């Protein structure tokens, strides 16, 4: 790539940017002050539910054999996959509905939460020198309110829609992450003005505004939502569709997500 091509793909002319997946995150987050990772179904939704319940969350790469040792090192519970929990494997799962339904006594104090998309991206961003925030529909307005004074002060923001994976492990852009990113970006544009947004970010904001009135139905009908419904996890889609019910802003510090301190 030429230097000009590199610069174009960082969206460097705009303070608020949007890209997809791990490669997109690397392209736009390196020169940014804040990276906002969005994985609606379901890492960042589970993350927000966990923090609202008082749990500290350690993101971790998916299918990494060192995850159990990492959990033991931090005296944390290692989350299991949805299907593993259903088939009798003990432990807290990636399912946000299952986590929300836990009795208070069963909510873990610390949770290592691997996922193939959002958690893996967060882990990859941890060493890039930018603040890393988790966002979904549940906390979109709170994240935008946290970002607004920073953008107004000149900070740059990289919003990363996690997407999903095809069977050959290539990126599948996932419309639910476009909508989740767009919810943050639409609220941020309302606060700081649309001129800060790159065309990619503005497109996501417009996509969210177009679907906001039918969000639950649209999440159930989209490919990722329909897949979860078919597997018996419709409640996860319902929890993910609950918009602006949380004020928590998950901030990654020293390898763990905790609520960002109030300004």
Other C-beta atoms closer than 10 Å to the C-beta of 251 total 18
Q: Is residue 112 part of a domain?
A: yes
Range of the domain at 26: 14-257
Q: Report angle CA 262, 250, 214 to the nearest 5 degrees.
A: 110
Q: Is residue 9 part of a domain?
A: no
Q: Indicate the number of domains in the chain.
A: 1
Does residue 158 contact residue 110 with C-beta atoms inside 8 Å?
A: no
Per-residue pLDDT of the chain (263 residues), as tens digits, is: 334 447 788 998 999 999 999 999 999 987 899 999 999 999 999 999 999 999 999 998 877 778 788 888 888 899 987 765 453 444 688 899 999 999 999 999 999 999 889 998 998 898 888 999 999 999 999 999 999 999 999 999 999 999 999 999 999 999 999 999 999 999 999 999 999 999 999 999 999 999 999 999 999 999 999 999 999 999 999 999 999 999 999 999 999 999 999 76
pLDDT of the residue at 4: 47
Q: Is residue 50 part of a domain?
A: yes
| Residue 115: φ, ψ to 5° | -155, 155
Burial environment of residue 248 by CB neighbours within 10 A (0 to 12, 13 to 18, 19 or more) = buried
Q: Is residue 262 part of a domain?
A: no
d(CA 79, CA 82): 9
d(CA 133, CA 87): 32
pLDDT of the residue at 21: 96
Q: Is residue 153 part of a domain?
A: yes
pLDDT of the residue at 84: 52
Pairing of strands 77-78, 164-165: unpaired
Other C-beta atoms closer than 10 Å to the C-beta of 244 total 14
Q: Is residue 216 part of a domain?
A: yes
The DSSP-derived string for 19-68 is: EEHHHHHHHHHTT-SEEEEE-TTTHHHHHHHHHHTT-EEEEE-TT-TTHH
d(CA 156, CA 11): 10
Closest CA to 249 of 164, 132, 100, 129: 132
Q: Is residue 53 part of a domain?
A: yes
pLDDT of the residue at 67: 78
Q: Which CATH number covers residue 250?
A: 3.90.1560.10
Q: Is residue 2 part of a domain?
A: no
pLDDT of the residue at 121: 95
pLDDT of the residue at 263: 67
């Amino acid at each position: 790539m030429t230097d000009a091509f590199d610069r174009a793909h960082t969206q460097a002319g705009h303070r608020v940017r949007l890209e997809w997946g791990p490669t997109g995150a690397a392209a736009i987050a390196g020169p940014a002050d804040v990276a906002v990772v969005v994985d609606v179904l379901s890492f960042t939704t589970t993350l927000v539910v966990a923090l609202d319940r008082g749990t500290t969350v350690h993101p971790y790469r998916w299918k990494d054999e060192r995850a159990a040792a990492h959990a033991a090192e931090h005296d944390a519970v290692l989350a299991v996959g949805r299907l593993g929990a259903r088939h009798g494997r003990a432990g807290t799962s990636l399912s946000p509905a299952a986590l929300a339904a836990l009795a208070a006594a069963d909510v873990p104090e610390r949770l290592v939460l691997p996922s193939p998309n959002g958690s893996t991206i967060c882990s990859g961003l941890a060493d890039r020198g930018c603040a890393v925030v988790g966002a979904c529909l549940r906390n979109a307005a709170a994240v935008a309110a946290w970002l607004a004074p920073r953008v107004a002060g000149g900070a740059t923001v990289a919003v990363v829609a996690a997407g999903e994976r095809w069977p050959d492990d290539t990126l599948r852009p996932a419309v639910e992450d476009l909508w989740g990113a767009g919810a943050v970006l639409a609220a941020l544009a309302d606060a700081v003005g649309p001129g800060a947004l790159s065309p990619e970010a503005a497109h996501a904001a417009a996509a969210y505004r177009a679907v906001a009135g039918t969000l639950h139905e649209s999440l159930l009908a989209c490919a990722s939502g329909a897949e979860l419904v078919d597997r018996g996890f419709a409640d996860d889609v319902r929890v993910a569709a609950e918009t602006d019910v949380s004020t928590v802003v998950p901030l990654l510090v020293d390898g763990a997500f905790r609520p960002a301190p109030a300004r």
